[in-house]
Amino acid sequence: MRFVFIFVSLGLFCGGKMEKDKFAKERELMVKYQIEARGIKDKRILSAFKKVKRHLFVPEKYRYKAYGDHPLPIGEGQTISQPYMVALMTQLLKLEGDEKVLEIGTGSGYQAAILSLLAKEVYTIEIIPSLAERAKKILDSLGYKNVHVRCGDGYLGWPEEAPFDAIIITCAPEKLPEPLVKQLKEGGRIVAPIGPEGGLQILTVFIKKKGKIIKKEEGGCYFVPMRGIIEKIEEKKE
C-alpha cells in the first residue's frame, strides 16, 4: 500500500513538473524567436513576456497552441492577439514603471497582465460581460493586484480614474474616441489600431503635446472592431 502511494505521488509530481517545464521552454522560445528576433530588445519587456503564463489566458482546448506565432480565439468571436503584436504595442507605450495605464478591450486579460509588470496601475475595460468576468477571475487568481477590470464601453474611458499616462486600445475604432483623448495626460501616449472592420487598419501612436495630438503611423495590423457607442456615432455621420 505504501509503495502504491509513493508511486502515485511521484507520478503526480513528475507530471506536474513536466507540464510546467514544457510551457516554460515554449515561453522562452516565443520570447527569443517571435519577439526579440523581431527587434524588441527592452529587457523589462522581454522579462515580462517570460513571466506571464500565456497558456492560462487561453481556453483549455487551445493551450497547446498558446505560444504559437498567431492570435487565438478566446470565445464570443474575440481573440487574444499574436504575442509579437502584444509586445510591439507594449513597446510603443514606452512605460518606465510608474504609470497609470488604461486598456480598452481586456479580452483574455493577457495584455493587462503584461502591462501590470511594467506600470504602476492598470485599468482595463471589456464590453462583453463573460470575457470581463473570466479575465478578472484569472488575473485575481494569479495575483495581479494592480490590474482593475471593469465591464463597460471603453469608448467612454474610465473618467473617475483619469488622467492616464498611457492608453492602449486593443480593438479597432475607425477614429480615436474623443473621451480617451480628454483622459490622457499632457505628454502621454495612446497606442491604437485605427481603421475599418476587416479593412486596412494602421497601428498608430498619438502623443499629447501642449494639448494637441501628434500622430505617428507604425504599420498595418488586424484587430477585431470596437463595438458599442462608437458604431452609433459612425452611423449618425453617414
Contact 108, 144 (CB under 8 A): no
Query: What b/e string do you get for 184-208 counting C-beta neighbours within 10 Å, with b at 16 or more?
Result: beeebbbbbbbbeeeeebebbbbeb
Applying CB under 6 A, among 179, 227, 233, 234 the residue interacting with ligand SAH is 227
Closer residue to ligand SAH, CB minimum distance, 81 or 100: 81
Q: Rounded distance, CA 159 to CA 187, Å?
A: 18
Applying CB under 6 A, among 52, 67, 118, 126 the residue interacting with ligand SAH is 126
Q: Does 163 engage in binding with ligand SAH (CB under 6 A)?
A: no
Site string for ligand SAH, 65-84 (x = CB under 6 A): -------------xxxx---
Q: Closest by alpha carbon to 222, among 79, 125, 63?
A: 79
Applying CB under 6 A, among 30, 92, 119, 127 the residue interacting with ligand SAH is 127
Closer residue to ligand SAH, CB minimum distance, 59 or 163: 59
Torsion of CA 127, 133, 136, 139, to 10 degrees: -110
- H or E element: which one contains 201? strand 201-209
Least CB distance to ligand SAH at residue 224 (A): 5
Q: Rounded distance, CA 82 to CA 154, Å?
A: 22
The answer to whether 81 is a known catalytic residue is: yes
Closer residue to ligand SAH, CB minimum distance, 106 or 189: 106
Positions touching ligand SAH (CB under 6 A) are 78-81, 104-105, 107-108, 110-111, 125-128, 131, 153-155, 170-171, 224, 226-228
